[in-house]
Structure 1
């Protein structure tokens, strides 16, 4: 009898403590779940941005994307070589943080590089202030590429430059 008499208040205390703690724990649990969901969404968004190793940024045709400019590098805008002549219809603009358009330089002979089994050709090369962010916007006005490819994107690839040594005096 003595044990059951002591067990009853202990059970009551645990029950009350559990009930009084339900509301904050539920709120905390809910806020933790919300934070976890937001974190998962951010991770998913980052994955959708299709950034690659080495500072490579993927820009979907029709989208605008901020791209960091590394020190001592120029940036190439590259398209899949499989797009062929349709890639000539792509229009890109590159804008620095002050709103000034960067000069896109291209040549008739397109440099190519194979990455992950896909051959990529350089459409334009540009340079900007190092350690800044620029905005790259590319579109396909004739919709030739978008009609043939589900998620057409270009790659903005940093290409290191070798500093020219000062002449010996």
Structure 2
């Protein structure tokens, strides 16, 4: 019960800034959930694209691979309610990572579901960050059972210098 209270307190510090196009950071998230995925299907999904499932309101440690940025993705079926999602990403020293968003939301199909990238962030490679997201207006939780996001690594392709 105490852990649940810590998670709620930690996630409640998320930004309530309603602007979708600007970066969002917020207070430090202080607790991490160690709960494993509950179904074999969820674990298979996580292995297939290197991503992790995070329920809205949950806080979880996420590994940061080398040469990658991380995307926080939501089901496209959530529609405009995605704009109400607030996330906090904190590195191991407690520093908040900058979250970036764009007006043109990238969509991708995975596991038969279309996903939209809500936030993108980068952190020190080969480290862990703590990610927590919440539904600021409780629109998603009311309409969807078991609402979860995916945190998925996306490889960074180095830009080659111009040839002479």
Look up the match of 2:141.
Answer: 146
The CA distance in 2 between the partners of 1:95 and 1:104, in whole Å, is: 11
Gaps of 5+ in 2: 1-34
The residue number in structure 1 matching 2:37 is: 47
Map of 2:77 onto structure 1: 82
Give the RMSD, CA atoms, in angstroms. 1.6
1:166 to partner: Cα distance: 4.8
Equivalent residue, structure 1, for 2:157: 162
The structure whose residues are more often helix, as a share, is 1
Task: Report the 3-state secondary structure (helix = DSSP H, G, I; strand = E; otherwise coil) of the residue aligned with 1:66.
Answer: strand
Aligned to 2:122: 127
Alpha-carbon separation, structure 1, partners of 2:159 and 2:124: 18
Instruction: Tell me the SS of whatever aligns to 2:62.
Output: strand
List gaps (5 residues or longer) in structure 1: 1-44
User: Which residue of 52, 55, 73 maps to 1:57?
Assistant: 52
Give the ranges of 4+ consecutive aligned residues of structure 1 lying more than 2 Å apart after TM superposition. Answer: 45-51, 164-169
Contact 2:37/2:53 (<8 A) preserved = no
Count of matched residue pairs:
125
Q: What is the CA deviation profile of residues 48-97 of structure 1, one whole-angstrom value per residue up to 9, with x for unaligned ones?
A: 28450132011100000000000000000000000000010010000000
Equivalent-residue separation in structure 2 for 1:65 and 1:80 (angstroms): 19
SS in 1 for 2:114: strand
C-alpha distance in structure 1 between counterparts of 2:103 and 2:66, whole Å? 27
Distance 1:73 1:121 in 2: 18
TM-score normalised by the chain length of structure 1:
0.70
Q: Distance in 2 between matches of 1:47 and 1:59?
A: 9
Deviation at 1:98, TM superposition (A): 0.4
Which of 61, 66, 71 is the aligned partner of 2:66? 71
SS in 2 for 1:151: coil
Larger Rg: 1
